[in-house]
Structure formats: structure tokens, C-alpha cells
Structure 1
Amino acid sequence: MSTVADPQPSQPVELDAPGSAPMVQAKVGWRGPIVYGVVSLISLVVFGLLTPGSDRTRFMVSSSRDLVDIAPFAVPSRLTAVLVSVLALGLTAWITRETLARRKVAVWVPVLFGFLVLVAFLVWVMAGNDNALPLTVLLTGALTLSVPLIFGSLAGLLCERSGIINIAIEGQLLAGAFLAVVVASLTGNPYTGLIAAPIAGAIVGLGLVLFAVRYRVDQIIVGVVLNVLVIGVTNYLFSTVLTQNPQSFNSPPRLPTLPIPFLSQIPVVGPVLFNHSLVVYLMYVAVAVLQVMVFRSRWGLRMRAVGEHPKAADTVGIPVNLTRIKNTVLGGAVAGLGGAALVAAGLAFTKELTAGRGYIALAAMILGRWSPKGALAAALLFGFADSLRQVLGNLGSPVPSQFLAMLPYLATIFAVAGLVGRVRAPAAEGIPYVK
């Protein structure tokens, strides 16, 4: 009897011998080429061919502090949009060829495709506008707005890699923002608020893991209940204590900007990356440290073992439930720091300040495939959508304001539905461990 060997993905279907079954090939997935093709055609027709040929789009990339002054420049709107859309169509053809050959598409392909379509959209949306699109402001806003999402996604990663589903990121962000505002207002020092915020997030994380580990309650239900609880408590305290005495409890000072010498003066890159408050630099450190610790350290190996196979981890002496408790509390503290980032600009606390950012952070964690650098990239995508909404709203655009307000949430839905594909969460996620 003949045996059927596993073929290489690019090999054609062959027969082992007359009368034997054909070797199995991987099924061709057409979703990617179809999505890329539809988007590139929309870009070509709507952003390119329907744009008036006489319109021009102006861009501004330099600021007054830069070492080198780059003057604003203009490009022909229709020609530019058509060219980048044609490049996107060519990339779609290449993706289709790779799909037919059953070869995996490299990570840079969707990044380049998204960049091309984005350029076409920006050229179209600012065509004929007297204002120049400030690219530095747009990118700086994208990074600033993504910081709470990055901290929130890192918090979810720490919890879920150890087996605890953290739906309570929204509540942890909100609790961190509330305590940061109150403590900073009382002390007159923004750094005390930055220290207090992780404590609030850790308390919410402790409540989550207490019910999840000690009482084995469904973790999704506990997370939702904690979100509702934190929203209710902060709304009540805002309506009573903070509203009655806003000068004492709801007037936080702004975290000072700490520009890095020389680096902050590099055109575009400097203002975007090196001219921020301490909380942004803490985000850089957190992503880098966790990327190394999760995948290159004994601590990370033990954490991932607990999330994948807790019985095997327990067999070799790893305390499963204690590891989950520590990681969930740590994750809550990281999310609380993200809450402090929401009010770092000296913003007063308002009801439901987070506005669903905890759930967007959860989507960023999934889109990033439970990896710190992946979560960073996904959160930057959502932050860019939010920054684009604000910039276009200020400059004026043909896109209705209601649609602009939906941009961050639409980006979340399309990213999770269309870009994630098949992902595998940690195997023991959400399953209580009993010896």
C-alpha cells in the first residue's frame, strides 16, 4: 500500500502510483487578493479618476524648531492619487501570484499597500484645500493618542499569556486616569499622579484575578462587571466630589514635555518621537523590555507555559495560580499607567473619559497576536485613525464629520475582521486551574 507524502506548497498535485489518492495541497485563500483588489480599485476610481485634474494638495513637514527648514510643497492631486493607486493594483497582482503559488505573503506587503492607499486618500481629501496638511502634527498626534492603547494592549498581553482573559482593560484605564487626576490635583505635582495611576489599575486587576482564580467565576463576566463598576464609581465621584470642588480635585497640572537634545530637532522624526512627556518614553521602555522578557527570559517562558499548558507547568514546579495573580496585577498596573497617559496633557477628568479605548486596546492585542511589538504596531494604526479624524476636522474636508468620528472604531473593526485572519489565543486562556 502506497503512502501519501506531504508536498511542498508550490508543488502541483501528483499521484503516488496508478489508482492511489492524490497528494493534498493547501487550499488557495482568495480573501486577501479580493480585499486588496477591491480597495485598490476604489482608490483608483474615487481618489484618483474622480478628483478634478486642476486641484493640488499641499503638505507641510517641517516645524520652526527643526534643524533644517523644509518648505511646504504641493503635488497634483489626480496624478498623484492615480499613480499610487496603480502601484497598489500592481502590488495586488503580485499578491495574487503569490497566493496562487501558495506562498506566504511577507509582512511588509500589507504595510506598503496600506501606505499607498493612505497617500491616495490624503491627496484626495485635501485636494483643492487652501490649508496644507501638517504631516508632523498628524504623526505626533497618532503616537500620543496611541500611548493609552499601547499600555492597555500590553496589560491584556500580560494577563492572557498567563491564562487570564482581561476584558477589564477599560476599567483599569479609567481607574488609572481618575486617580492620576485626583492625586495630581491634590499635590500639584503631575508625577505623583503618574505614580498613583498604576495603583488604581492594579487594584482593578486584583479584583479580576481574585474572582477568576479564587472563586473560578467566568472571566469575561467578571471583566464586564468590573468595567461597569469602575464607570459607576467614577461617575458618582465626578458628579459629587470633583464637580463640587474642581479646583482641589479636578485641576491636574500638565506633565512637562522633555525634548531629547538634538534628536528632537531632526525634521519629522524628532518632533514625532523625541519631543514628549515622560509617559511616552516609559511606553518605549515598556514595549522593548516586555518584548525581550516575554520571549527571551525564564520569566516569560514560565508565563507562557502557564497560559499554554498549566498542568505541565505545575508538574515542573511552576506555581500556576500564583503566576496568574502576579501577572494580572502587573497587567492592571500597566493599564493604569495608560490611564495616566490619557490625562498627561493636564486634562480634567470627565465621565467615561476612556470612551471605549480599553476595548480598542483589546483589539490591538489580538491584531498584534499577543506580542508587544505587534500590539505596538496595531495600536499605532488605531491612534493614527484618531489623529487623522482630529486633523481633518480642524482643516476641513469633504468627508462628513460623523464619518470622521467613526474612523478609529471602523479601523478597529476592519483590522480585526480583515487583517487578523486565523489567530490562536493561549490554549489555557480563560480556563481555571485546579490541582
Structure 2
Amino acid sequence: MSTLVETPEVQRKTVAVRSWKVPIGFGVFALLALVLFVGLGRQGTTTFRLSNAGDVIQLPPLLLPTYATGVAVTILLVVLTVIATLRAMRSQRIPLWMTVVFSVAFLIGFLTWAAAGETIPVPGLLLGTVALSSPIIFGALGGVISERVGVVNVAIEGQLLAGAFMAALVSSLTDSPILGLLAAMLAGVLVSFVLAAFSIKYLVDQVIVGVVLNVLVAGLTSFLYSVLLSPNAAELNSSTRFERINIPLLSEIPILGPVLFRQTPIVYLMYIAVFAVWWGLFHTKWGLRLRSVGEHPTAADTVGINVNSTRFWNVSLAGAIAGLGGAFYTVASLGSFNKEMTAGAGFIALAAVIFGRWDPIRATLAALLFGFATNLQGTLGVIGSPVPSEFMLMLPYVVTILAVAGFVGHVRGPAAAGKPYVKS
């Protein structure tokens, strides 16, 4: 009987794998920069206003010559593309900092080109980004938990909408935004309860259940709005909203202070939720059990984990978090409920989950990208930019498609997501 023993030569042998995804992506955006910033370059000076009138610390506006900045940015992008190509030819990994520098440089160049001769209010742009991203972030966190435990959550849209409706109704009746917040969480749990019951207990296709729930919640809330809220708007659809709370010292930090630390309690709760979900998933026994059920339920069952019970309760938790996102619309932002007011935010949250590779931090950053693009199209429209607003709304979806297609790295969800578990 012979035994195969690895020699030192075999042990040292490695397989070099070349990945051209990042260089190709860099090349596309570098070519776009060459066309826009140089070929279609604009003259003038772009002003970036870095402080608001009421800020304690006033930063002088940043003035950038439009054409010269575009040329400089294009050169930098081309250099980074060449470096990335050479590293790919040598089968070397492209460092993350290079991608970050490339992205920031392109964004600065694009903003400078698009707002030539105008002023971009940076604090206002970022503040609007946080506001538009908050419900998406809550929805994405719920999606991450649900899919990590093995249940595809297409019903995020319904959870957001149910949360918005219940928050408006309860807050109006009680004059308490806190009770509205709790009601929104309960509404999200109820929608998730139906999703969990049909997909886990009755083994119905999870995607179909999610789509049906979205249609059901949209129809039900629209009906109740027409027959209940609209005729009694003063009593039932005038939510008491959270007031903004300024965090001492932190709120005076230039640029970031007004954006992050002059917010309503629900936004501060969002900060806590992002950290708590990340820490819980990757640093606690709860997270280990949850991820094991989503990756290999049979192995989890073997070591004594109740797979279906774990899935059921964590899908309910995901619904509660998504319900908080719905409450943002009515007790933090608009103050009243309208038909289908979430406007597809749940589907954007689902895209953020995929784009963020089922990671809470990355999903949050993806949600911020959607919020930034949505707010930017409004800002550019106000200053009269030649960039069509439809292009800005399209951009994050294009990036998401590229991400799913693998141009920004391999995207693989939890192995058992969408697969019912039947104990043998």
C-alpha cells in the first residue's frame, strides 16, 4: 500500500490566475472620462460649497477649473488603468485602495464637469443622500439577515410599505412617534410571518410568495388609505414626527457633522442597526448559527440546530428591521402616508443586498450609492446641468448589473438560500 506524499516542490507550486475584470472596468470608465472631460470638456469654474451658513466652523468654498480638472482626472484614471493592467498580466491582485482612488477621482471629475460654472452644495448633497438611503439601508439589513438564514426575501417592498402605513396610523392616533415606530416593526414582522409560514412550513416557492406579498400589501394599504386615512386625514394621517437632535461637538465637525450628527433618532437607530447586524452576524454564536443554516442546513441540523425554527424567527427579525425603514417615511420624513409611497425602495434594497455580497457593511454602502445617485440627479437638475436626470437614476442599476455579472468580483449568495429544508 503506497502513500502519496507531497514533495516540497509540489507544496510550493501555486496556480496563477489572471482576472481582467478590474482592468476592463477601469478601461471603460477611463475611456468615458476621456470622451466627457476632454473631448466634450466644458469651460468655467466649478464651486464646491463645503459649509452651511449656520456652521460654527466655516470652510472656504473649493474652486476647481473645469477643463483642467477634467484633464488631470483623466490622466490619473489612465495611469491607474495601466497599473491595473500590468498587475493583471503578472497575475497580481488589484488592491482595494486603487479601486477607491479610481472611483473618487472619477466622481470628482464628473461633478466638476457636470456643474461647470455652478455651485454644488456638498453638505446638502450628502444630507439628502443619507435621508434617501435610510429606508433602503433598513430594508437591505433585513434582506441580508433573511437571505443569510436561507430565505430569499423579495417581500422587502411590502415590509417597508406596511411599516410606513402602520407608523402613520398609530403615530397619528397616539401623537407618539415612538409608538408609531413600534407599530411599524410589528407590521414588518406580520408580513415576514406570512413569508416564513408559506416558504418554510408549506414549502411554497419563496420568490413567488414574496411577489404576492408585495402586491397584497400594496393593494391593502391603498384600499385602507382611500377608505380610512384619506377621509380622516387630520385624525388618522397626520403623523407626529421625530425632531432632529444635534449631537454636541460631533455636529460641528466640518462637512460630516451636519450630515451624520444632526439627524432624527431613527437615523441614529440606523447607525446602531448596521453595527449590530454586522457584529452579530460575524462575531456571535447567533450569527454563526444563522449563517450555518443558510450555507449548509443539513450540517447545522446534525449538530443540533433546529433549521426551520432558526429560519422562522430570523426572517421575522428581518421583517422588524425592514419595518423600521418604512417608518422613516412617515415619522421622520414626510409625516403622512400616501399610496405606494415607497416607490420600489424594497427592490432597490434587494439589489443592494446582492451588490453588497450579503454583507451588512457593503450592503449599506451600496444603499448609499443608490441614495447618492437619486439625490444627485435632483441637485444637477436644479443647477441646470446638461446631464439628463434619467441617466443618473439609471447609473446605480447599471453598476448593480455589472456587479451581478461579475465585473467587480465573484458574487455568490448563501448556498442554501431559496431552498426549503426537509429533514430526512
TM bucket by the smaller chain? over 0.9
Identity of aligned residues (%): 50
Matched, 1:30 2:20: yes
Gap runs ≥5 in structure 2: none
The number of residues matched between the two structures is 417
Within the candidate set 76, 79, 84, 1:95 is matched to 84
* SS state at 2:230 partner: helix
User: Does the CA contact (< 8 Å) of 1:164 and 1:430 recur in 2?
Assistant: yes
* SS state at 2:361 partner: helix
Distance 1:25 1:266, change over 3 A: closer
Matched, 1:354 2:342: yes
Q: How does 1:235-384 map to 2 (within 5 A)?
A: 235-343=222-330, 344-384=332-372
Matched, 1:66 2:55: yes
Cα deviation digits, residues 207-226 of structure 1 (max 9, x gap): 00000111010111111111
Within the candidate set 20, 33, 40, 2:30 is matched to 40
* Distance apart, 1:183 and its partner CA: 1.2
Amino acid at match of 1:90: V
User: Does the CA contact (< 8 Å) of 2:127 and 2:258 recur in 1?
Assistant: yes
2:214 aligned partner: 227
1:80 aligned partner: 69
* SS state at 2:333 partner: coil
User: Does the CA contact (< 8 Å) of 2:133 and 2:371 recur in 1?
Assistant: yes
1:12 aligned partner: none
* Distance apart, 1:194 and its partner CA: 1.4
2: CA distance, partners of 1:426 / 1:52: 47
* Distance apart, 1:381 and its partner CA: 1.2
1:15 aligned partner: none
Matched, 1:423 2:415: no
* SS state at 1:58 partner: strand
* SS state at 1:428 partner: coil
Gap runs ≥5 in structure 1: 10-23
Within the candidate set 95, 107, 111, 2:96 is matched to 107
Matched, 1:152 2:139: yes
* SS state at 1:244 partner: coil
Cα deviation digits, residues 47-68 of structure 1 (max 9, x gap): 2342234x11111010123221
Cα deviation digits, residues 133-183 of structure 1 (max 9, x gap): 001111111122111111111101111111111111111111111111111
1: CA distance, partners of 2:133 / 2:214: 21
2:128 aligned partner: 141
TM-score (norm 1): 0.91
User: Does the CA contact (< 8 Å) of 2:147 and 2:414 recur in 1?
Assistant: yes
2:377 aligned partner: 389
Cα deviation digits, residues 85-140 of structure 1 (max 9, x gap): 211111111111121121222222222211111111100111023xx100111111
Cα deviation digits, residues 318-338 of structure 1 (max 9, x gap): 111110011000000000001
Distance 1:355 1:227, change over 3 A: same
1: CA distance, partners of 2:224 / 2:316: 24
* Distance apart, 1:399 and its partner CA: 1.6
Cα deviation digits, residues 227-280 of structure 1 (max 9, x gap): 111111111112221221111222213221011011101110101111100111
Matched, 1:166 2:153: yes
* Distance apart, 1:311 and its partner CA: 1.3
2: CA distance, partners of 1:8 / 1:96: 24
* SS state at 2:239 partner: coil
**More displaced, 204-213 or 403-412?**
403-412
Task: State the superposition RMSD in angstroms.
Answer: 2.0
Amino acid at match of 1:29: S
2: CA distance, partners of 1:188 / 1:407: 40
Cα deviation digits, residues 308-365 of structure 1 (max 9, x gap): 1111111111111110011000000000001112331233222211111111111111
2:117 aligned partner: 128
Amino acid at match of 2:411: V
